[in-house]
């Protein structure tokens, strides 16, 4: 294998692999980095799904690997599917400290997969994560069917999760991305997705892919799809279970990386979100999901404690980031009394937008800025738990919808200050 350059042309060794392949309709892409332990389960689901739901439809497996030191690629090659493999470029820093999505250089990997899919002329490209072992054959059906039969260009996943899982996504990423792009996606940074041939074609022709290393590519694809007026769907999948020893498990790092990715896309691709003022519904495929709702041990007191420590320790950074009114409102939150502690949705939206603006104008070192949001996120999450822990699942969903409403309502605040 050889490293794949970031240009539109495929490297020669990949080109050679394509020469011998039969015509194909589906491409399944698995992006990997040291996933030998989990790819057999993923490939078992792929084979099962193809056999059950796409019998007779020719498919190819595309693997972009960041330089696995284990038998990841060998395990994939044993799948029995026609196999295209390549090694993609990955920033050294991400090889040392693997980002939240588990694939160093995920942008380069996706670009490679898209380029191969276009060359093969497939009708749909499915992207799967190599360490998500809860994948089933049904996932293939629910992600691909909307592309193949319902005109979808991008199908994003919705996972069945406990109400207090995915708090970064639910309280920050999803409402922010929804307000930016005009589509309320439940899990905008989750890895599984399906792309239509039309979207693959457009992405291949796109003049400006995001630089690898800032984990922007998934958001850029979603934003581009929405901005181009293409059809975005969601597929309700099952449980989402990751078995990874490499993905970062550090909460502040995850906040910094994921939010940093959104802010970077905002910075680099203003055209994708600045003018968006219409919020379109996202059709969802698949049976309604019942979220896991077993009792959870959430230490709200410690979260509020982290928030109040932030008030004390990070005031000097927040003074530079938050607008005076916003800072004043944050300082006024009644953190001394758990029963009275609330974090209003509009205030939260302004906090996140102020951080986006602070990132945009580089008011402080950006990594410090992103990490200094963590105590605020913990405070907002604590407020969400306090508001919903005695209520049913519908009320929890309704609380999240209110957060999304607030982000959309406050978007002019962001746009007005961006330029």
Partner 1 sequence: MKNGARDWYKDAVFYEVHVKAFRDANGDGTGDFAGLTESLDYIQELGVDCLWILPMYPSPLRDDGYDISDFYGIHPSYGTVEDFQKFLDAAHARDLRVITDLVMNHTSDQHPWFQASRSSPASPYADYYVWSASDRRFADARIIFVDTEKSNWTLDPLRREYYWHRFFSHQPDLNYDSPAVRREMLDVMRFWLDRGLDGFRCDAVPYLVEREGTSCENLPETHAILKEFRAVIDQEYGGDRILLAEANQWPEDVRPYFGDGDEFHMSFHFPLMPRLYLGLRLEDTRPITDIFTHTPPIPPACQWGLFLRNHDELTLEMVTNEERAFMYYAYAHDPGMKLNLGIRRRLAPLLDGDRRRVELLNSLLLTLPGSPIIYYGDEIGMGDNVYLGDRHGVRTPMQWSRDRNAGFSSVEPGQLYLPVIADPVYGYEAVNVAAQARQPSSLLNTMRRLLAARRTSSVFGRGSIEFLRPRNSKVLAYLRRHGRQTLLIVANLSAAPQPVELDLAAFAGATPIEMLGATAFPTIRTAPYFLSLGPHGFYWFRLEQPGDGDEPFGIERSPI
Q: Tell me the two tokens of residue 314.
A: 């990070």
Residue choice 9, 243, 250, 392 for contact with partner 1 (CB under 8 A): 250
Residue 68, interface with partner 1 (CB under 8 A)?
Answer: no
Among residues 44 and 253, whose Cβ is nearest to partner 1?
A: 253
Q: Under DSSP, is residue 327 helix (H, G, I), strand (E, B) or coil?
A: helix
Write down the least CB distance from residue 364 to partner 1, Å: 5
Write down the least CB distance from residue 381 to partner 1, Å: 6
From residue 381, give the alpha-carbon distance in Å to each of 287, 297, 331. Answer: 28, 14, 17
- The 59-65 sheet, strands edge to edge: 3-4, 83-88, 59-65, 26-32, 124-129, 193-196, 154-160, 232-239, 284-285
- Residues within window 313-332 making contact with partner 1, judged by CB under 8 A: 313-317, 320
Write down the least CB distance from residue 343 to partner 1, Å: 15
Residue choice 29, 169, 212, 244 for contact with partner 1 (CB under 8 A): 169
Cβ atoms of residues 159 and 239 within 8 Å: yes
For Cα atoms 164, 251, 73, give the angle at the middle one, nearest 5 degrees.
100
Interaction pattern, residues 177-196, with partner 1; x per rule: CB under 8 A:
------------xx------
| Contacting residues for 328 by C-beta, under 8 A, at least 6 apart | none
Among residues 71 and 300, whose Cβ is nearest to partner 1?
A: 300
Residue 148, interface with partner 1 (CB under 8 A)?
Answer: no
Residue choice 265, 330, 357, 378 for contact with partner 1 (CB under 8 A): 378
Closest listed residue to residue 106, CA positions, set 118, 88, 119: 88
Closest listed residue to residue 136, CA positions, set 26, 29, 37, 52: 52
Would residue 293 be called left, alpha or beta, if left means φ above 0 and alpha means ψ between -120 and 50 degrees?
alpha
Among residues 205 and 290, whose Cβ is nearest to partner 1?
A: 290
44-52, 129-137, 158-166, 219-227 -> range binding partner 1 (CB under 8 A): 158-166
Among residues 299 and 334, whose Cβ is nearest to partner 1?
A: 299
Residue 299, interface with partner 1 (CB under 8 A)?
Answer: yes
Total residues contacting partner 1 (rule CB under 8 A)? 47
64-72, 195-203, 338-346, 365-373 -> range binding partner 1 (CB under 8 A): 365-373
Among residues 34 and 169, whose Cβ is nearest to partner 1?
A: 169
Among residues 43 and 174, whose Cβ is nearest to partner 1?
A: 174
Residue indicated by tokens 């020669």: 12
Among residues 152 and 378, whose Cβ is nearest to partner 1?
A: 378
Q: Tell me the two tokens of residue 126.
A: 């499915």
Q: Under DSSP, is residue 26 helix (H, G, I), strand (E, B) or coil?
A: strand
From residue 363, give the alpha-carbon distance in Å to each of 30, 176, 203, 323, 416. Answer: 39, 21, 33, 12, 17
Write down the least CB distance from residue 162 to partner 1, Å: 8
């Amino acid at each position: 294998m050889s490293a794949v350059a970031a240009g539109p042309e495929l490297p020669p060794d990949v080109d050679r692999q394509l020469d011998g392949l039969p015509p194909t309709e589906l491409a399944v892409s698995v992006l990997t980095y040291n996933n030998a332990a989990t790819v057999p389960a993923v490939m078992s689901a792929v084979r099962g799904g193809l056999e059950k739901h796409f019998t007779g439809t020719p498919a190819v497996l595309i693997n972009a690997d960041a330089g696995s030191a284990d038998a990841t690629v060998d395990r994939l090659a044993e799948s029995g599917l026609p196999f295209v493999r390549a090694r993609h470029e990955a920033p050294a820093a991400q090889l040392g400290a693997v980002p939240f999505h588990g694939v160093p250089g995920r942008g380069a990997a996706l670009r490679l997969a898209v380029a191969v899919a276009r060359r093969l002329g497939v009708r749909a490209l499915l992207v799967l994560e190599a360490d998500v072992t809860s994948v089933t054959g049904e996932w293939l059906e629910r992600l691909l069917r909307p592309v193949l039969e319902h005109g979808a260009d991008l199908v994003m996943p919705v996972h069945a999760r406990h109400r207090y899982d995915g708090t970064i996504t639910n309280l920050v990423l999803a409402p922010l991305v929804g307000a930016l792009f005009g589509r309320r996606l439940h899990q905008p940074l989750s890895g599984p997705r399906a792309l239509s041939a039309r979207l693959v074609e457009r992405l291949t022709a796109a003049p400006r892919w995001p630089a690898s290393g800032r984990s922007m590519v998934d958001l850029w694809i979603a934003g581009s799809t929405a901005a181009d007026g293409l059809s975005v769907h969601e597929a309700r999948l099952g449980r989402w279970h990751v078995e990874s020893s490499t993905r970062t498990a550090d909460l502040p790092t995850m906040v910094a990386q994921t939010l940093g990715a959104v802010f970077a896309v905002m910075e680099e691709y203003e055209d994708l979100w600045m003018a968006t003022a219409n919020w379109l519904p996202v059709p969802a495929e698949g049976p309604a999901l019942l979220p896991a709702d077993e009792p959870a041990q959430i230490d709200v007191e410690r979260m509020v404690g982290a928030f109040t420590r932030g008030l004390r320790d990070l005031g000097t950074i927040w003074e530079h980031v938050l607008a005076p009114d916003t800072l004043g409102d944050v300082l006024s939150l009644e953190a001394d009394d758990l029963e009275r502690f609330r974090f209003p949705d509009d205030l939260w939206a302004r906090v996140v937008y102020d951080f986006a603006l602070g990132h945009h104008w580089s008011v402080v070192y950006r990594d410090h800025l992103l990490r200094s949001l963590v105590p605020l996120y913990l405070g907002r999450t604590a407020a969400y738990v306090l508001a919903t822990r005695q209520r049913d699942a519908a009320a929890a969903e309704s609380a999240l919808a209110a957060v999304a409403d607030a982000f959309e309502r406050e978007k002019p605040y962001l746009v007005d200050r961006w330029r």
